[in-house]
Structure 1
């Protein structure tokens, strides 16, 4: 909409260079250019659907015996690994 990279960066709380990269990707590939690119390393072992399930459950419910979900109680509820390291590997790969 005619904004400069500095203005975009200020509005979004990001660096000017990041705004420039996103703008360039959008100019070259439209919305597809803004999609997350594959990252190096081991692929994730958890699907986007599982991630969405955890997010929705976290936002829309509470555990029976607590006021909010802990990472361990949520992992137990949805059948994900309970150790922090294992959860990280499942999500990031």
Structure 2
């Protein structure tokens, strides 16, 4: 009797695992179909994946270069302001010392 119960439990476990796998496969198929449908509504087809990846990589490089340029511009502005301030102080010192 114990062996029979173990066999039944094993069969039930296997059956439930197969059902769960089938259900997960169906869920994945539904999700993929929904995502593909949404992307298609934006004009993005499955065949465009490589092109889109290249576009996103280009956009990322563009964004990084813009961020780097902003950093350089900020440094340049600070340098110009500091140089102007130092020049003003130097001219002030020259005027005071020449009197």
TM-score scaled by length of structure 1:
0.22
Instruction: Tell which structure's C-alpha radius of gyration is larger.
Output: 2
Choose between structure 1 and 2: higher helix proportion: 2
TM-score scaled by length of structure 2:
0.21
